[in-house]
Homo-oligomer: A and B are copies of this chain.
Amino acid sequence: MRNIKITDSLFGSYTKQVADKILEYQWEVLNDRQKEALPTYCIANFKIAAGEMAGERRGIVFQDTDLYKWLEAVSYCIDNGTGKAFERQADEVIELVGRAQEPDGYLNTYFTIMAPEKKWSNQVEGHELYTAGHLMEAATAYYEATGKDRLLNIARRNADLICRVFGPEERQIHGYPGHQEVEVGLIKLYRVTGDKKYLDCAYYFIDERGKEPSYFLEEIRRRGGYEFFPEFDNYDLAYSQAHMRPAKQRTAEGHAVRAMYMCSAMADLAGERQDEELLEACKAIWNNVTQRRMYITGGIGSSGLLERFTVDYDLPNRTNYSETCASIGLMMFGQRMTAVTGEAGYYDIVEKALYNTVLAGINIEGNRYFYVNPLEVVPEFCTKRTYMDHVKANRQKWFSVACCPTNVARTLASLGQYIYAKEGNTLFIHQFISSEVKVILEEGSLHVKMGSRLLQNGVVRLDYESDGAKALRIKIRVPEYAKSVKATLDGDLLEPAREAGYMIIEAGEAGKHELAVYFGIDAKWVAANDNVREDCGKVALVKGPLVYCLEEKENGRNLAGVYVEINKPIEPREPAEGLVGDIPVLEYDGIRLENKEISRGELYGAPEFELKEMKLRAVPYCLWNNRGGGEMLVWQKVKI
Interface residues of A (CB under 8 A from B): 230, 234, 236, 239, 290-292, 294, 296, 302-306, 308, 310-312, 314, 316, 318-319, 378, 380-381, 383-389, 524-534, 536-537, 539-540, 558, 560-561, 563, 566, 591, 593-595, 598-599, 601-609, 611, 637-640
* Given A558-B536, A560-B534, A561-B537, A234 contacting B604 (CB threshold 8 A): no
List of B residues within 8 angstroms of A312 by Cβ: 380
Residues of B within 8 A of A603 (CB): 290-292, 294, 528-529, 532
What residues of chain B lie closer than 8 Å to A381, measured between beta carbons?
310-311, 314, 533
A609 contacts across to B, CB distance below 8 A: 527, 537, 638, 640
Assuming the A-B contacts A314-B381, A611-B640, are A536 and B593 also in contact, with contact meaning beta carbons closer than 8 angstroms in the complex? yes
Which B residues touch A640, using CB under 8 A?
A: 563, 591, 593, 609, 611, 639
Residues of B within 8 A of A532 (CB): 603
What's the nearest-Cβ distance from chain B to residue A169, in Å?
35
Enumerate chain B residues within 8 angstroms of A308, measured Cβ to Cβ: 385-386
Min CB distance A156 to B, Å, is 38
Cβ contact within 8 Å between B530 and A387 = no
Q: Are A529 and B604 within 8 A (Cβ)?
A: yes
- Contact: A606 with B526, CB < 8 Å? yes
A294 to B604, alpha carbons, bound, how many Å?
Answer: 10
A305-B389 contact given A310-B383, A595-B530, A599-B529, CB 8 Å threshold: yes
| Nearest CB of chain B from residue A621's CB, rounded to whole Å | 14
Q: Please determine whether B599 and A306 come into contact, CB atoms closer than 8 angstroms.
A: no
Apart from A302-B386, A310-B381, A314-B383, 18 more pairs, CB < 8 Å? A230-B230, A234-B385, A236-B385, A302-B387, A310-B383, A310-B386, A314-B378, A314-B380, A526-B606, A526-B607, A528-B603, A528-B604, A529-B599, A529-B601, A529-B605, A536-B593, A537-B560, A537-B593
Asked if residues A388 and B539 are in contact (CB atoms below 8 Å), the reply is: no
Which residues of chain B are within 8 angstroms of A524 by Cβ–Cβ distance? 606
In contact, B598 and A527 (Cβ under 8 angstroms)? yes
**Which residues of B sit under 8 angstroms from A525, Cβ to Cβ?**
606-607
**Chain B residues whose C-beta falls within 8 Å of the C-beta of A303 in the assembled complex:** 386-388
A-B CB contact pairs (8 Å), 26 listed: A236-B384, A291-B602, A294-B603, A302-B386, A303-B386, A305-B385, A305-B387, A310-B381, A310-B386, A310-B388, A311-B380, A312-B380, A314-B380, A314-B383, A319-B387, A381-B533, A387-B387, A524-B606, A526-B604, A527-B604, A529-B595, A529-B602, A536-B558, A537-B561, A563-B640, A566-B607
Minimum CB–CB distance from A185 to chain B (whole Å) comes to: 28
The distance from the CB of A89 to the nearest CB of chain B, in whole angstroms, is 35
Q: How far is the CB of A303 from chain B (nearest CB, A)?
A: 4
Distance in angstroms from A229 CB to nearest chain B CB is 11
- The answer to whether A537 and B637 touch across the interface, beta carbons within 8 angstroms, is yes
- Check if B539 sits within 8 Å of A558, measured CB to CB: no
CB distance from A74 to the nearest CB of B (A): 35
